[in-house]
Amino acid sequence: MMTTAVPAPAISVRGLEKSFDDLRVLRGVDLDIERGSIVALLGSNGAGKTTMVRILATLTRPDAGTVMVDGFDVMTDGANVRECISLTGQFAAVDQILTGRENLKLVAKLRHLDDPGGIADEFLARFDLVDAGSRRVAGYSGGMRRRLDIAMSLVGNPPVIFLDEPTTGLDPEARIEVWTMVQELATRGTTVLLTTQYLEEAEKLADRIAILHEGRIVANGTLAELKELLPPAEVEYVEKQPSLEDIFLALVGKNAPEGELR
């Protein structure tokens, strides 16, 4: 009888630890992320979300644990990890003096790709920036800059992308634009790790949600699985399902349940 091999996770984290002086930020994080999925990493300010992303992106060295990204060890094979990932931070990393097209061409050249101009034109069309492509980025709206930033991060089609609070500071319309782009990434097979403080964003986008609290993953599951952690509330005899906000506050607050969902 033939068995189908289960593909290795796009990201695999085991026993990840990181401290800064006497502050223990990560205290043994375990997390697997399947290929082509969107996983939202939630946590309060200072929970260690950005530190974890920086470790995955080889920008910060862990103190202990193993981290594999697309089959490569971040500690021993950082060059190959960087070849297969892209990172979009909280602030758009675009050159405001250059035009949108020049920004995209620059990234294509840095990745040593053929036909940088053609690649730039392709991404301008894909992200609805053709009309703005010849304008300096300094004149772009916040949503346009974020679209360009994500477009630049996808040049070369990296299989894994980290989005660290990508909609911070955007207005509701621009946030929805980013949400649409993230969903399109997953349909193309890209693995997305998204950190966010907007619980609605996690509910809207994520296949799975991991909650980081006091240096550990205290819950990891689908939204439906996380809802099972809390009993439904009854309002005038009508059953009310817990929201993701209810779940998050219950897990990281003083009255957090002892059990963990893995």
- Tens digits of per-residue pLDDT, 41-91? 998 888 899 999 999 999 999 999 999 999 999 999 999 999 999 988 766
Q: Say yes or no to pLDDT of 102 above 90.
A: yes
**Tokens of residue 106, six digits:** 């620059």
Burial of 85 (0-12, 13-18, 19+ CB in 10 A): buried
- Whole-angstrom distance, CA of residue 90 vs CA of residue 166: 5
**242 within 8 A of 227, measured Cβ to Cβ:** yes
Cα 210 from chain centroid (whole Å): 11
For the ranges 57-71, 191-205, 234-248, the maximum mean pLDDT occurs at 57-71
**95 within 8 A of 103, measured Cβ to Cβ:** yes
Instruction: Write down the pLDDT at residue 206.
Output: 94
Confidence of residue 196 (pLDDT cuts 50, 70, 90): confident
- Tens digits of per-residue pLDDT, 120-179? 999 999 888 999 999 999 999 888 888 898 889 889 889 999 998 888 777 777 788 788
Mean pLDDT check: name the lowest of 3-7, 17-21, 202-206, 250-254. 3-7
Helix spans in the chain (H):
49-56, 78-83, 100-110, 116-126, 142-154, 172-187, 199-205, 223-227, 244-252
**161 within 8 A of 192, measured Cβ to Cβ:** yes
Confidence of residue 247 (pLDDT cuts 50, 70, 90): confident
- Whole-angstrom distance, CA of residue 248 vs CA of residue 43: 8
Averaged pLDDT of the chain: 87
Q: Which domains does the chain have, with CATH numbers?
A: 8-84+160-166+190-262 (3.40.50.300)
Instruction: Write down the pLDDT at residue 33.
Output: 96
Higher pLDDT, 10 or 240: 10
Instruction: Write down the pLDDT at residue 255.
Output: 54
Q: Say yes or no to pLDDT of 262 above 50.
A: no
